Structure 1
């Protein structure tokens, strides 16, 4: 791919001036073209927009950094984390455990990659605003405005993730001046940035089509996602976040840091933001363009198969990836292939660094079908005669793999590429940014906060309780749906309903880089992490000492999931295999798991309380000409 951008190194922002246009989807544009010519052609404008999308397919943006490096740890997910070395090392293990090192190069890479994509979006927005094609009566006007809506929404998504990762960041909504006068920018209060993002999205919504119309799929920015993103920003804005200094009129989180307080807006502002969120979530629900797939399992199977759900369009937006090109889902996160196998290839193509934990497993209702689609308490290895064998894990209570991304469900295209390569092969599995279940649960949360669990939105006719019920009941087979509905109906408005939503969002979104941001905005991150550690100490008193299971009679290399005795040992164990289960002693190393609990997320409250943000990288700081500096004790 020919590089046709001219770059400036700035503030850690890598600013880009358009001299001609190319992207990973369409490489047929001329090698030299003026910006004016680009944006007076719908074809070349599309190519310029494609470059923004291409910026999301890099490791430093939405392949690794946003969903994995910065989206963990929470009370249910972690990236390794046991032992002092892992907690303090200069890599993703240290970062995810809130012990980031300023010298870690991926901090600088993320900053640069995010601002490069923002700059490309700025180029598109300004180019369209200056184009003759948007004149009233021009046949291309609507198409060009749709492109603008996409660029505005992409930029808003990028900025939200920068804010959630770093706190206050430079605000740059214009292209870089040729004289460099707007290169070195300091930080802007995140609330000012979010106000602008909300305004931009309100404009974008008017331009964008719904998914499934005008040739737009859920791999593109659409009206539904713009509504949902605006609501997500409003809910983030209304929630808690650590601040560089105290803000007047804001409320402190109890027991927050004296120097860097964790705060949220006052009551009136929060009501305004919740009301705004309900308005936009209601619009998605009322539209009918997005629905829950009746089968949770089917939705994840389609994702592993690289197939868009065009029947229900449950996923409002997915970052598009391609086999052998990009895609970390199924490698760093997912069912683990442990080493070389004949079937899956020499590399193994799986690291499984992202884990879920034993106390979270036991929190699920026994009949919740999401449990076994979330937890993979086994890995896949080479067996006899070149056959693969599913090998049950023993005492790994903080090392359970995620089952949502599963090589056994992935495409032949990926499998053939993995077999043919001695190196890592990108899975091509899309990174889902928002699902319709998130829309329903955010809607339930905001309505409950404003008026209670039985309040109804302005146009869709759905109550908060019914929205919650849709998500909960989908997770249960027909024989158990009544139990799920009764559970939701038993909840009182207010705190009880909210606390149930806190749990439900964990069960629904585990591993999807949502939980951490939820806990931060609720002011519950540290509390819930400590509760999970305490729950493990209680779990080892009651959990079976051995886990008994059988292999399938017709497929002896596969574990029979129906045979696993999760909750008690069988009376007769003759026909079962077993592994030592989630006790306090690790038989392989002799170490005491309880002794390692303090290392999990160890840096969250040291030296600053609730330091959930990450530092700006050392190279970014040194390149900023003195305009940027770190806070929060970094």
Structure 2
């Protein structure tokens, strides 16, 4: 998709809602007549576009999409600052946390605009027009609004637990000062909405902006994702993890809709895993491929390649600067099979220095390698930072396959159907000549029991989606958050001890040099060696960097500090922002969760 098309979805319907002093209580409606706005496809399209606008605020593009989704066993950051994001990483954010307020505000603004669109389109004569194309487009727009509303409620629930559930458009006489609703009631409702509308939506290859707008395959994938959230575990206000008695009904829905999508709109996974993300760096958005929906950032907007991706230092080059807020712990890197092609796409061992040279990161600085501003075909300029225009993936087809494998296994055990879905994902990860052992034999072995197959799904989702910042939500619904964090911390300590004492097989030091193209070469990524082949290689510290100072058990501070609050159960739920509490006039309060 060309760059001009990337601007399509950001047309703002400024005539929909006037300014408001509270996201929960819009001050006034537009003077435009809703009957006119939703009487035709063109204006209804603009109304639905207004829902997408919230993706282009920092509350999503640099916070919710990636910055707020650590720490996990595969993505990490932290620090001792008292800044808003550091509070969130440490799980001790206060009600006045600005980042949480920002997410709450844009979520309810998007929900407000979705409710306006849903009500307007539902009451429009055009929805049932005798012109089949008009009716089809209006029904699809209605599906987009329902899907986007469901996404924002899903995120609010993950971050705040029970929240106000608003489904009406703002108008006179409607009370928007609502109390909290049970999160499972909300999830059940939005799942039902999508089930009722998805068959009236259009596939990505039938809509104007392809995967840069919500489409039927993404809506079906969201039914599965929301159902696994609804059927999964959640933290209660009394600080226990729980799940509802009817959870298997939602695994059944996830199974049904992943199977339906596979039956109706199957597609082969692209063989080149790297190219899936390189397409995003090159502004290419193929339909009927892996990515089902990606948030479209126009050039000059978006933070991919600024706060997530391979670090680029400002200097003597035209690419500007960008960092990486969510690093990858070496325990995750070394969990991969050495032949897994996803490993070195996901985990970058280099950054770009001020002279535009690749330089080795320290062991705590492995970055997400799927995106970087230095992959852009047109350098954005030496003084640029934000605004790369690189899109953000919201769901991939490999996710559908793995959700299907998970749901099928939960209901029926590791059936042939579940095994084949897992195999399809692993076939892309390994050279074809390795499929007999790395795919068929591996899947056969993990299929010995329902539990071992589930464990394999937990691992596979880590390897497949590293850096895409979905792990937090998986760990929550599996009730594995504290267990996986503990495994990570203990694994890092063992790596540090092995490096200090010279035991183990992993490299305490690595040997590096640059090839004729200036690319960084690393001689011994996976094993300890006594010396390099010749004196052209330079020795650099690697796992020895996990030890702070020259004494055993004195681990680098981030190992002992940044996950310190991730105890059983992990308090991943945050307080409702003070602004919302104050505006509610006593209806809302922060209770439970040891607040």
TM over 0.5: yes
Q: Which has the higher helix share?
A: 2
Partner of 1:476: 430
The answer to whether structure 1 residue 549 and structure 2 residue 512 are counterparts is yes
Contact 1:240 1:262 in 2 (8 A): yes
Distance 1:589 1:40, change over 3 A: farther
Distance between the aligned counterparts of 1:77 and 1:504, measured in 2?
15
Of residues 321, 327, 334, the one that matches 2:309 is: 334
Partner of 2:88: 95
Q: Secondary structure at the match of 1:8?
A: coil
Distance between the aligned counterparts of 1:618 and 1:67, measured in 2?
23
Distance between the aligned counterparts of 2:27 and 2:550, measured in 1?
53
Contact 1:70 1:165 in 2 (8 A): no
Contact 2:281 2:372 in 1 (8 A): yes
Q: Provide Cα deviations, 1:442-471, integer angstroms capped at 9, x if missing partner.
A: 11011111111125xxxxxxx100100111
Q: Secondary structure at the match of 2:205?
A: coil
Report the CA distance between 1:588 and its aligned residue.
Answer: 12
Partner of 1:22: none
Partner of 2:274: 297
Distance 1:445 1:34, change over 3 A: same
Q: Secondary structure at the match of 2:65?
A: helix
The answer to whether structure 1 residue 528 and structure 2 residue 489 are counterparts is no
Which sections of structure 2, spanning at least 5 residues, go unmatched? 1-11, 499-503
Contact 1:292 1:437 in 2 (8 A): yes
**Further displaced range: 351-360 or 129-138:** 129-138
What aligned pairs does 1:313-462 form with structure 2 within 5 A after superposition?
313-324=289-300, 326-338=301-313, 340-345=314-319, 348-383=320-355, 388-394=356-362, 396=363, 398-412=364-378, 415=379, 417-419=380-382, 422-455=383-416
Distance between the aligned counterparts of 2:48 and 2:250, measured in 1?
30
Of residues 146, 149, 154, the one that matches 1:160 is: 154
Distance 1:18 1:577, change over 3 A: farther
Contact 1:7 1:14 in 2 (8 A): no
Contact 1:15 1:116 in 2 (8 A): no
Distance 1:16 1:39, change over 3 A: farther
Q: TM-score, normalised by structure 2?
A: 0.91
Partner of 1:603: 565
Distance between the aligned counterparts of 1:443 and 1:611, measured in 2?
29
Partner of 1:177: 171
Contact 2:67 2:325 in 1 (8 A): no
Q: Secondary structure at the match of 1:317?
A: strand
Report the CA distance between 1:573 and its aligned residue.
Answer: 4.6
Contact 1:211 1:223 in 2 (8 A): yes
Distance between the aligned counterparts of 1:142 and 1:133, measured in 2?
9
Partner of 2:419: 465
Report the CA distance between 1:292 and its aligned residue.
Answer: 1.2
The answer to whether structure 1 residue 13 and structure 2 residue 24 are counterparts is yes
Q: Secondary structure at the match of 2:19?
A: strand
Distance between the aligned counterparts of 1:221 and 1:14, measured in 2?
27
Q: How many residues align?
A: 570
Q: Provide Cα deviations, 1:485-541, integer angstroms capped at 9, x if missing partner.
A: 121122213011111111111111111121111111110001100100101122230
Report the CA distance between 1:170 and its aligned residue.
Answer: 0.4
Report the CA distance between 1:545 and its aligned residue.
Answer: 2.1
Distance between the aligned counterparts of 1:400 and 1:464, measured in 2?
33
Distance 1:225 1:3, change over 3 A: closer
Q: TM-score, normalised by structure 1?
A: 0.86
Distance between the aligned counterparts of 1:160 and 1:565, measured in 2?
39
Distance between the aligned counterparts of 1:14 and 1:558, measured in 2?
55
RMSD: 2.2
